[in-house]
Amino acid sequence: MLLHLVSIVEQGLLTGHCPVSNFYEIMSMSALIIVTAFLFVHWRYKMDSFSVFLFPLVFVMTMIATMGRPVAAWSSPVLRNAWLTTHIVLVLLGYAALLLTAVSAVMYLIQERELKRKPPRQSFYRLPPLGTLDELISRAMAAGFVFITLATIAGSTWAFIEFGTSWISDPRISISFVTWGIYLAMICLRVTAGWRGRKAAIMAITALGCFAITWVTHNGLLRHLSQ
């Protein structure tokens, strides 16, 4: 919120008027007001889960607002390559965290199934406790969401500077945002609805499948396989 406020003040000083004169400026100001209102509600009522619903809205509004003052070109090829490399590294970190989540989920489902056997097989005693696996799923899921969100922001910024607004109609971009939305829904259900245990495990495996599809589309593997 503070960084956003600074940017709005600087924009107002640069343009010589309050930055609410066009659609993009209004979106930016609205996003700032929503975040400020949320912080007040959080301070007053301690509603942590409220942010899960507001975050996607503020994320989209702020991204749209940045398109009002596009960057025409990169300042240097080094910055361009470094930005793209950062995006790729963040994606890989997010995928690694999600893979760890999915593996933990599979182990959770296996152990849950073994608990129903009388007596359980010997392999059951080599698996981590259900509580440990559930905690690992939570931590890995949260870390993966942070990495994937940062990767989405970095990738969108890079594409916007590189291609302008034409990248928005790219199907690969649409799939990426849909996948990010599925990940957000998974986090939302876990935080607000309390989905844990078997439901969280199945949800983590489903999310990994969605990200696998996204990876295939971005790397053109379907085209190579069809050839």
Q: What angle do CA 91, 152, 167 make, to 5 degrees?
A: 115
DSSP-derived 3-state class of residue 215: helix
Amino acid code (one letter) for 206: T
Are residues 187 and 138 in contact, defined by beta-carbon separation less than 8 angstroms? no
> Given the structure tokens 């990876």, which residue do they identify?
215
- pTM beyond 0.85, yes or no: no
Between residues 28 and 132, the one the model is more confident about: 28
**Lookup: tokens for 65:** 């607002």
Q: Which residues contact 218 (CB under 8 A, 6 or more apart)?
A: 172, 176
pLDDT for 222 equals 42
CA distances to 16, 171, 212 from 223, in Å: 52, 14, 15
Banded model confidence at residue 226, pLDDT cuts 50, 70, 90:
very low
Transcribe 72-93 into DSSP letters.
-S-S-HHHHHHHHHHHHHHHHH
> Per residue in 67-119, pLDDT tens?
777 676 787 888 889 988 998 899 899 989 988 988 888 888 877 777 766 66
**Lookup: tokens for 60:** 């989209």
pLDDT for 12 equals 92
**Lookup: tokens for 63:** 């991204």
Amino acid code (one letter) for 159: A
> Per residue in 155-207, pLDDT tens?
888 888 887 767 667 777 777 888 888 888 878 777 766 666 677 777 778 87
